[in-house]
Amino acid sequence: MNNMFEQPTYLLLLWLVPLLVLLLWYAYKKKRQTALMFFEASIIDRLMPILDASRFFRKALLLLFAIVFGIIAVATPRFGTYYEEVFRSGVDVFILLDVSRSMLAEDVAPNRLERAKTDIQDLLDHVGGDRVGLIAFAGSPIIKVPLTNDHGFFSPSAPFSRYELRPSRRDGNWRCDSTSTSGDAAGC
């Protein structure tokens, strides 16, 4: 039953309903006895229609239903849905992107850089809840996007527009610097 209500402790108030039934029954009997002290039983129903038993019990029943359903509403029922705690262990992924001028070569359509952007976007569609970061390098690495769960931050116009192609200060691309930077940024 705890799975069906958000606040199941309020359901303990339902124990007061039988007490309320007894209290209403006692109140009806007391009113009826008081009326019998002043009038005969044959004319009470005509003079005091509120003491008619069927009318009184209909009102009491409606009051009890209102109280029961009010208590259930306060307990916040959750029918049709259920909550399950899911443990997911994500991974931290740094994307290393070469931004040297060699990425403008058009050996793949339209060029290597644009192809890398679309490949990164395809990768982001598959990583789910993993944290992703971006390191751009052309000789020396620069963290462009720190590790984040917000994959929308990686839209093609966001991180890719914040860098410019740089000439490499060294011969070739020093990927070992980039991987050490990604390890430092990930806290490894």
pLDDT bracket for residue 157 (50, 70, 90): very low
Apex CA 71: angle with CA 69 and CA 77, to 5°? 80
Question: pTM (2 decimals)?
Answer: 0.42
pLDDT digits (tens, 9 = 90+) for 14-27: 999 999 999 999 98
C-alpha–C-alpha distance, residues 6 and 135, integer Å? 44
Mean pLDDT, range 59-77, rounded to an integer = 92
Average pLDDT (154-166) is 50
Give the CA dihedral 7, 9, 11, 12, nearest 10 degrees.
-170
- Average pLDDT value for residue range 98-107: 84
CATH class label, 92-186: alpha beta
3-state secondary structure 72-122: HHHCCECCCCCCCCCCCCCCEEEEEEECEHHHHCCCCCCCHHHHHHHHHHH
Q: What is the pLDDT of residue 180?
A: 56
Phi, psi of 127 (to 5 degrees): -85, -10
